[in-house]
Structure 1
């Protein structure tokens, strides 16, 4: 008994006609008939009742079809399983990412993954949220590190980082020495902010609307260092995620908490379907394990050295 013979039996059972079955599975009709006759001889019973008017399953044939479907399903699952191992050895992932992921620990995630699975090539494409989500929806990338601003049934969202926005001014600004600033106090400020296609912009803009004003935007810029260079020159103020602002802190700027808080999330987003590439499944599983490690309290370096000595 061979796998292709099971396919032939299912095709004839479906079409109840040898010619149509042969055409469907793209083999010659004599070859199809020969293989089924050979299988019936091996089994010692007929699977089909043949007349000049129809072809139908015998009782034994109906029982055989039930088992054949299960066998072929298990064969398909086995092939998919093995393909995952093949992909681990040699695969390719296209990942979209916000430029700010470098301010968090996400490069460590990708570096750790690459070290464990050196056969999987990672291509990183930077962009704004809306652009990356469009590319993900269009299957131009496999996953994206983005900020989700509203639910979307097309995507599966795995939150990686939570943060909140802070106000950043130059050191001479009237608000520079405040312990905190209410968002509604900023309605007369000039803002240097990320492009409108970014999740950061959308979250900030929505928060301003809730505070009953529309922000005055004098410049749109995607690069944090460039934005801050204009803030230092007094062209305007900006809002950044707190971790990003802290990484860029220097004597020329002031970082002030905002109230109410404007929360930010960076998530690993994939398409919400079951047909994920094997290499992506491996990456998602690794990310889950990496998050658990990141959330565990880290032992101080000196204590680690003392225990190892």
Structure 2
């Protein structure tokens, strides 16, 4: 099998010949001398062993072989132009893909509206939330499976830059007639005889357990649910 000889410059030259109908005008369009353009076409014809157009017609009349390459040029060149434009946008930060990893269910309460605002400013950037909830979001960044991660705590890692988004207050919810409803602040001991409903995530992702209950030696009865509405 012969190596591929046809290049984009050949297609651009043929399309210029088709659109202008003249060797001299086509040469100006593709920034070649007439002799250089004629030499380029002659090499193509020698490669395929077929004439591409009739020399002594005005405007130029393309042969069946020439028309086939013109069709190819019309199919390919617009896609090349579009791809080059997209690459330019990616380089300038106007387009591309941003893969987001999250480690908690409640992130969606504020993340989805924030993504809508982002899309308004950068409509050509495709946003993708990495499927599922992950205990090792930093690992996703390090293995190039995510570009940006939402984490609850800073863990200094080489190659990772942290930026604070906001601070939040840890709160609990209970029924209005629950004994704890009358208390303004709950202490770790208040959970000792209670049933605690959480998301089905590892213990090290539960701030209340890790930072409040475990240091106090409290291990309440627990139930889990994946849905916030079910927990409520």
Calculate the TM-score normalised by the size of structure 2. 0.53
Offset at residue 109 of structure 1 (A): 3.0
1:102 paired to 2:108: yes
Larger-gyration structure (1/2): 2
Distance in 2 between residues matched to 1:136 and 1:159, nearest whole Å: 17
Distance in 2 between residues matched to 1:221 and 1:184, nearest whole Å: 24
Aligned residues: 143
Query: 5+ unaligned residues in a row in structure 1: which ranges?
Result: 1-81, 229-309
Deviating above 4 A after TM superposition, structure 1's stretches of 4 or more consecutive aligned residues are 82-85
Calculate the TM-score normalised by the size of structure 1. 0.41
Aligned residue number for residue 185 of structure 2: 180
For the structure 1 residues 156 and 112, does the alpha-carbon distance in structure 2 shift closer, same or farther, using more than 3 Å as the test?
same
Aligned residue number for residue 72 of structure 2: none
1:106-140 C-alpha deviation (Å, 9 max, x unpaired): 43432222122211111123543414343233211
1:224 paired to 2:228: yes
Distance in 2 between residues matched to 1:222 and 1:199, nearest whole Å: 17
For the structure 1 residues 221 and 132, does the alpha-carbon distance in structure 2 shift closer, same or farther, using more than 3 Å as the test?
farther
For the structure 1 residues 194 and 205, does the alpha-carbon distance in structure 2 shift closer, same or farther, using more than 3 Å as the test?
same
Q: Is the 8 A contact 1:87 1:120 kept in 2?
A: no
Aligned residue number for residue 146 of structure 1: 151
Q: Which has the higher contact order (CA 8 A, sep 6+)?
A: 1
Q: Is the 8 A contact 1:95 1:144 kept in 2?
A: yes
With 82-91 and 125-134 compared, the bigger mean Cα shift is at 82-91
1:225-244 C-alpha deviation (Å, 9 max, x unpaired): 1111xxxxxxxxxxxxxxxx
Offset at residue 84 of structure 1 (A): 7.1
Counterparts of 1:86-97 in structure 2, within 5 Å, are: 86=91, 88-97=93-102
Q: Is the 8 A contact 1:95 1:125 kept in 2?
A: yes
Query: 5+ unaligned residues in a row in structure 2: which ranges?
Result: 1-86
Match of 2:208 among 184, 204, 228: 204
SS of match in other structure, 1:159: coil
1:124 paired to 2:129: yes
